[in-house]
Structure 1
Amino acid sequence: MDKTSRMLNRALSVDGTRIAYEQRGEGPPLVMVSGALCAAASDAPLAELLASRFSVFTYDRRGRGGSGDTAPYAVEREVEDLAAVIAEAGPGAAVHGMSSGAALALRAAAAGLPIAQLSLYEPPFQTEPARRGNGEYVGRMKSLLAQGRRGDALAAFLGAVGMPEEAVSGLRLLPLWTDMEALAHTLEYDHEVMGDGTVPTDLLASVAAPVMVVDGGSSPAGMREAARAVAEALPRGRHRTLTGQTHEVAPHVLAPTLMRFFTSS
Structure 2
Amino acid sequence: MSQGHALYLDVDGLLTHAWVRGSGPPLVIVPGLGCASWMYVRLSRELARSRTVYVYDPPGHGYSQGMRHLPECIEQLTDHLALWLEVAGLKGSPILGHSLGGEVAFDLAARYPAHVGALIACAPTGIPENPSVFAQLIRLLVDLPRERLGLLIPGLRAYAYCGPRRMLKLAQDQDHHYTGPLLPQIKAPTLLIVGTSDPVIRLWTLEAIRKAIPAAYFCEIKGGTHALTDVFPRTVARYTLDYLKAVDQ
> What TM-score, normalized to structure 1?
0.76
Deviation at 1:235, TM superposition (A): 1.7
Give the corresponding residue for 1:147: none
Q: How does 1:118-137 map to 2 (within 5 A)?
A: 118-125=119-126, 127=128, 130=131, 134=132, 137=134
Q: Does 1:19 align with 2:16?
A: yes
Residue 221 and residue 50 in structure 1: after superposition, are their counterparts in 2 closer, same or farther (change >3 A)?
closer
In structure 1, runs of 5+ residues without a counterpart are: 139-156
Residue 6 and residue 223 in structure 1: after superposition, are their counterparts in 2 closer, same or farther (change >3 A)?
same
User: Residue type of the partner of 1:256?
Assistant: R
Maintained 8 Å contact 2:201/2:226: no
Give the corresponding residue for 2:238: 256
User: Structure 1 residues 72-81 or 98-107, which shifts more?
Assistant: 72-81
Residue 69 and residue 108 in structure 1: after superposition, are their counterparts in 2 closer, same or farther (change >3 A)?
same
Q: How does 1:174-189 map to 2 (within 5 A)?
A: 177=156, 179-185=158-164, 186-189=166-169
Maintained 8 Å contact 2:139/2:199: no
Q: How does 1:56-95 map to 2 (within 5 A)?
A: 56-73=53-70, 74-87=73-86, 88-95=88-95
Give the corresponding residue for 1:116: 117
Residue 252 and residue 120 in structure 1: after superposition, are their counterparts in 2 closer, same or farther (change >3 A)?
same
User: Structure 1 residues 31-40 or 245-254, which shifts more?
Assistant: 245-254
Residue 252 and residue 188 in structure 1: after superposition, are their counterparts in 2 closer, same or farther (change >3 A)?
same
Residue 202 and residue 46 in structure 1: after superposition, are their counterparts in 2 closer, same or farther (change >3 A)?
same
Note the alpha carbon deviations across 1:34-53, whole angstroms, 9 max, x for none: 10231011111101110011
Deviation at 1:221, TM superposition (A): 9.0
Maintained 8 Å contact 1:100/1:194: no
Give the corresponding residue for 1:141: none
Residue of structure 2 aligned with 1:4, choices 2, 14, 23: 2
Give the corresponding residue for 1:37: 34
Q: Quote the sequence identity (%).
A: 23
Note the alpha carbon deviations across 1:197-224, whole angstroms, 9 max, x for none: 76x3211111110111111122349611
Maintained 8 Å contact 1:215/1:240: yes
Residue of structure 2 aligned with 1:190, choices 170, 175, 194: 170
Q: Does 1:54 align with 2:51?
A: yes
Give the corresponding residue for 2:96: 96
**SS of match in other structure, 2:23:** coil
Note the alpha carbon deviations across 1:161-194, whole angstroms, 9 max, x for none: 2526xx8xxx9xx856455333233313532553
Residue of structure 1 aligned with 2:141, choices 163, 171, 196: 163
Deviation at 1:234, TM superposition (A): 0.5
Residue 193 and residue 256 in structure 1: after superposition, are their counterparts in 2 closer, same or farther (change >3 A)?
farther
Give the corresponding residue for 2:192: 213
- How many residues were matched structurally? 231
Note the alpha carbon deviations across 1:211-260, whole angstroms, 9 max, x for none: 11111122349611111111110123111111221212111221101110
CA distance in 2, matches of 1:55, 1:222: 29
> What TM-score, normalized to structure 2?
0.81
CA distance in 2, matches of 1:210, 1:257: 14
Residue of structure 2 aligned with 1:223, choices 202, 206, 212: 202
Maintained 8 Å contact 2:130/2:174: no
User: Residue type of the partner of 1:10?
Assistant: Y
The alignment's C-alpha RMSD in Å is: 2.7
User: Residue type of the partner of 1:31?
Assistant: V
